[in-house]
């Protein structure tokens, strides 16, 4: 995945937004209306998510649709603006969408959770990053998310790399402190071990050297850090300056980008990162269907687009199980009663279910930086339920 600040996608934003507006007033009962909220403009661009999801739906339509009905995919741009996020959710509800699929908005869950509950709208979300996305009865993300990933990476360090002195340096975003601490506690409950050092006061800017000096003083042999893409490079360069070549550095998914690999690949450090799905840089059989779809969609191959692909694939499978009219109520019922769906791109089956919160993806693969390229390291690490 990339950091929140990127550029591009303006042309696609215009195309998708125009399509969405033209479909909003339609009451055509011959279509199955599926909605999505994404960042097509603004600072959090996620256009490849909905482009890839749309390709999946278009393929279904070209094969005759679902029970003879075509899927009408209505995408709304929230531009990363919370007020706009609230507005477009209401526009989609008024357009009679039966569900949401492939949403990739940083503000969607926090802003619209109560509204989705009120309107009984369910969402198979492609990219979720805030705690609320994993704490709602109406949202089931397909990605691992940062909180499960924290636990998985610590398990990789302690159980696979056999590191004994694990240290954590976390940038805690507003509203995420409880979820971050729960993820750290989850690792301790599973392993019966304790972190040597845990600092959740890390700032998103400034000199990272003081944190690294704390790690050296504590004798950390593994350091987990959850930076944005902009912060990870100076952090790792400062680590090289401090001579920390014997430390295992564990990075979360935002650092798993090709630009980071090129920027820090020559530092001589031991660097690992977690992947939301089957690593997007892997030329594996598991990625074959997604790569075909993303190529035909004309979208970049990223973990974001993997989320768009999987969310659409899972929604299609659920829609196929519905007998009779496909409505908001029948989709909700199908999601609650669905059988788990396995896919080689994820380590645990996807299921929505009747629970009051959903985090079906509980597994991550790790990638290791070698010769300025990310290389898969081992199989999925599944986070077990702590006793």
160-169, 172-181, 335-344, 351-360: lowest mean pLDDT where? 172-181
Parse the chain into domains and list their residue ranges: 10-144+283-356, 146-275+364-382
> Cα(122)–Cα(117) distance, rounded to whole angstroms?
8
Give the model confidence (pLDDT) of 288-323 as tens digits. Answer: 999 999 999 999 999 999 999 999 999 999 999 999
- Mean predicted confidence (pLDDT) in 3-31: 40
Q: Judge if 10-144+283-356 and 146-275+364-382 fold alike in CATH terms.
A: yes
Cβ neighbours for 353, distance < 8 A, ≥ 6 positions apart: 140, 335, 336, 338
Residue with the two structure tokens 């700032």: 203
Q: What percent of the chain has pLDDT over 90?
A: 84
- Topology (CATH) of 10-144+283-356: Rossmann fold (3.40.50)
The predicted structure's pLDDT at residue 11: 28
Q: Looking at domain 146-275+364-382, what is its CATH homologous superfamily? A: Response regulator (3.40.50.2300)
Give the model confidence (pLDDT) of 191-202 as tens digits. Answer: 999 999 999 988
Tell me: pLDDT of 239 over 60.
Answer: yes
3-state helix, strand, coil in the chain (%, to 5): 45, 20, 40
Tell me: pLDDT of 282 over 50.
Answer: yes
Contacts 24+ apart (CB under 8 A), 247-250: 247/215, 247/220, 247/221, 247/222, 247/223, 248/157, 248/161, 248/163, 248/221, 248/222, 248/223, 248/272, 249/222, 249/223, 249/225, 250/153, 250/154, 250/156, 250/157, 250/222, 250/223, 250/224, 250/225, 250/274
- Mean predicted confidence (pLDDT) in 43-69: 95
The predicted structure's pLDDT at residue 254: 87
Give the model confidence (pLDDT) of 85-123 as tens digits. Answer: 999 999 999 999 999 999 999 999 999 999 999 999 999
* DSSP code string of 288-307: HHHHHHHHHHT---SHHHHH
pTM of this structure: 0.90
The predicted structure's pLDDT at residue 370: 95
């Amino acid at each position: 995945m990339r950091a929140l600040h990127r550029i591009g996608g303006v042309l696609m934003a215009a195309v998708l937004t125009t399509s969405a507006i033209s479909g909003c007033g339609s009451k055509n009962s011959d279509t199955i209306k599926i909605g999505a909220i994404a960042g097509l403009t603004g600072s959090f661009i996620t256009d490849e998510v909905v482009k890839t999801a749309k390709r999946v739906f278009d393929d279904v339509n070209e094969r005759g649709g679902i029970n003879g009905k075509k899927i009408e995919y209505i995408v709304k741009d929230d531009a990363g603006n919370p007020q706009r996020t609230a507005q477009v959710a209401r526009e989609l509800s008024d357009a009679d969408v039966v569900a949401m699929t492939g949403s990739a908005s940083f503000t969607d869950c926090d802003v619209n959770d109560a509204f989705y509950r009120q309107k009984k709208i369910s969402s198979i979300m492609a990219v979720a990053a805030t705690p609320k996305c994993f704490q709602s009865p109406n949202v089931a993300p397909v990605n691992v998310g940062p909180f499960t990933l924290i636990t998985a990476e610590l398990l990789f360090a302690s159980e696979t790399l056999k590191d004994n002195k694990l240290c954590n340096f976390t940038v805690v975003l507003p509203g995420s402190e409880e979820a971050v601490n729960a993820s750290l506690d989850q690792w301790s409950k599973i392993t019966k071990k304790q972190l040597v050092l845990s600092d959740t006061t890390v700032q998103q800017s400034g000199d990272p050297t003081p944190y690294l000096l704390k790690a050296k003083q504590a004798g950390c042999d593994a350091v987990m850090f959850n930076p944005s893409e902009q912060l990870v490079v100076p952090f790792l360069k400062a680590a090289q300056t401090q001579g920390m070549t014997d430390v295992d550095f564990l990075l979360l998914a935002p650092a798993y980008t090709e630009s980071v690999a090129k920027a820090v690949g020559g530092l001589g450090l031991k660097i690992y990162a977690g992947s939301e799905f089957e690593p997007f840089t892997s030329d594996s059989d598991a990625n074959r269907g997604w790569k075909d779809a993303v190529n035909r969609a004309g979208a970049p191959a990223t973990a974001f687009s993997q989320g768009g692909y999987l969310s659409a694939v899972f929604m299609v499978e659920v829609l196929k199980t519905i007998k009779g009219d496909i409505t908001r109520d029948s989709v909700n019922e199908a999601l609650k009663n669905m059988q788990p769906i396995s896919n080689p791109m994820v380590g645990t089956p996807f299921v929505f279910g009747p629970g009051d919160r959903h985090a079906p993806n509980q597994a991550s693969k790790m990638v290791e930086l070698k010769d300025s390229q990310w290389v898969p390291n081992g199989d999925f690490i599944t986070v077990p339920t702590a006793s």
